[in-house]
Amino acid sequence: MVCHFARSSHSSCHNRRDTTLMKGAFALTVLLAATTAYYFYIPLPSTISEPWKLMLIDGVFRGIMHVGRLADSLGICHFLHVVNFSMTLDAPDSVSSENLLVSDTTVGGVNARICQWTGGSAGELRRAVVFFHGGGWALGSGKKGAYATLCKKMAKDLKAVILSVEYRLAPEAHFPDQFEDAFQASKHFLQPEVLAQYSVDPERVGVSGDSAGGNLAAAVAQQVATDSSIPVKFKVQSLIYPVLQTLDFNTPSYQQNRNVPILYRPLMVWFWLEYLDADRGFLPAMIMNNHTAQDLEQVDPFRAAVDWTALLPPRFTEGYEPVVQAHGTPRIVEEVPGLLDVRASPLLAEREVLTQTPRAYILTCEHDVLRDDGLMYGRRLEEAGVAVTSDYYEDGFHGCLTFSFWPTFFTVGERALRNYIAWLDQNL
């Protein structure tokens, strides 16, 4: 009886404590959930693929940027190094290494990773792709994370040799270093004796990249096409949501997607300033197109190349007004000549150059500030007589292709990846 009483009193006391604890835990959970929801929730267009997943990624990304800014302001390390570190964490890799040879080497003095398919018979020539990873000319690595997986997957699916170029990155390197590394590695690789060393068919070499890597791929494709000292030319250029121009940060897609993750408009402009090593204080002026105001004559020769009112189909321009300043900030183009350099902004190239570039595949996403960069380039290439496949994703967002791997697996990313590789398979 005593025992029973003691036990019951003990247990009721326990119950009371449990209840209090539970209430506390419940309140804490609600608070945490509310804070988390507040932190992660951002309004997103309803047509975007898997919006909750994207919000989560965006929240994590913003968190990393906060830590980066904090570390930077405390003088611990540069903001970019923190973000870069998080981007290059190794993920479980879904591509088996059977019939694959992965090696890290230098090509023309530039670091690179080469993924080779080894399944063919001896002496059989293979296709090759020179690939440049994205990350705003500042982040990422072809040897880490999604890009390492992509390299293996492309080598395997295409039974090919993939040269993933480790070009130098900001903040240590600035334009034209990234471009020069990309170009030098390509130029070296395209020598007949180097291609032979890797059993690559010189008639079947392509160039490709995503985002800032797509910028490098487009610029390198132009440079290789017009350089008579390079005997072997690329057969195709395959550009995944490329960044191609600095003159207009108010294209319809820049206006529409300025707040859509993960590539917010200020972040994209900031990447440009970092790449071109320009005064970061120019950012607000450039967002309002002050750097290309009408009274700046040096911009005149390039305006038609980014005139989206003429280059985009009406369905993309409806409801948008061009942002053209009568007077701007002349200091910007004077201090940052890279803004008008075709090696940085391949969209500015002349028709005579575009004509010589290879057959193109351009992947664009509706929910991406860079959508119109890609669409305008496709139109200009077509006008120059280049065969263009435009692969547009209505539910896509910037970066989706590399979010097709662990841990995110976006369905739109998986689709984009499949179509990208299928196009290469059919056209290279």
Ligand X SMILES: *[C@@H]1O[C@H](CO)[C@@H](O)[C@H](O)[C@H]1NC(C)=O
Positions marked active-site:
211, 368, 398
Nearest-angstrom CA–CA distance, 133 and 303:
29
Interaction of residue 88 with ligand X, rule CB under 6 A:
yes
DSSP string for 278-340? --GGGHHHHHTTGGG-TT-GGGGGGGGGG-HHHHS-HHHHTT------SS--THHHHH-GGGG
Nearer to ligand X, 81 or 371 (CB): 81
Nearest-angstrom CA–CA distance, 244 and 213:
10
Among 51, 328, 338, 374, binds ligand X (CB under 6 A): 328
* Contact flags string 166-195 toward ligand X, x per CB under 6 A: ---x--------------------------
Dihedral, CA of residue 187, residue 193, residue 198 and residue 203, to nearest 10: 70
Nearer to ligand X, 176 or 330 (CB): 330
State the minimum distance, in angstroms, from the CB of residue 68 to ligand X: 11
Segment interacting with ligand X, rule: CB under 6 A, options 96-104, 268-276, 308-316, 325-333: 325-333
**102 neighbors 152 (Cβ within 8 angstroms):** yes
Among 7, 69, 280, 327, binds ligand X (CB under 6 A): 327
Q: What is residue 376's three-state secondary structure?
A: helix
Report the residue number whose CB is nearest to ligand X.
285
Nearer to ligand X, 49 or 215 (CB): 215
Nearer to ligand X, 192 or 284 (CB): 284
- Angstrom CA distances, 146 to 22, 37, 54, 124, 149, stand at 41, 27, 17, 29, 5
Nearer to ligand X, 134 or 328 (CB): 328
User: Cβ atoms within 10 A of the Cβ of 141, count?
Assistant: 18
Interaction of residue 285 with ligand X, rule CB under 6 A:
yes
Nearer to ligand X, 193 or 297 (CB): 297
State the minimum distance, in angstroms, from the CB of residue 166 to ligand X: 7
Interaction of residue 334 with ligand X, rule CB under 6 A:
no
Interaction of residue 284 with ligand X, rule CB under 6 A:
yes
Interaction of residue 291 with ligand X, rule CB under 6 A:
no
Binding residues among 15-74 for ligand X as defined by CB under 6 A: none
Nearer to ligand X, 88 or 208 (CB): 88
Interaction of residue 268 with ligand X, rule CB under 6 A:
no
**133 token code pair:** 């990873």
Interaction of residue 381 with ligand X, rule CB under 6 A:
no
User: Cβ atoms within 10 A of the Cβ of 75, count?
Assistant: 7
Burial bucket for residue 9 (CB in 10 Å: 0-12, 13-18, 19+): exposed
**153 token code pair:** 């997957």
Segment interacting with ligand X, rule: CB under 6 A, options 32-40, 227-235, 285-293, 357-365: 285-293
My answer on whether omega of the bond before 262 falls inside 30° of 0, hence cis, is yes
Nearest-angstrom CA–CA distance, 179 and 188:
14
Segment interacting with ligand X, rule: CB under 6 A, options 46-54, 80-88, 269-277, 368-376: 80-88
Nearer to ligand X, 81 or 156 (CB): 81
Interaction of residue 245 with ligand X, rule CB under 6 A:
no
**Cα four-point dihedral sign 130, 387, 215, 419:** negative
* Contact flags string 144-163 toward ligand X, x per CB under 6 A: x-------------------
**392 neighbors 361 (Cβ within 8 angstroms):** no
Interaction of residue 235 with ligand X, rule CB under 6 A:
no
Interaction of residue 81 with ligand X, rule CB under 6 A:
yes
Matching residue, tokens 């570039």: 357
**For residue 22, which amino acid is it?**
M
Interaction of residue 80 with ligand X, rule CB under 6 A:
yes
Interaction of residue 250 with ligand X, rule CB under 6 A:
no
Contacts with ligand X by CB under 6 A lie at: 80-81, 84, 88, 141, 144, 169, 284-285, 288, 290, 327-329
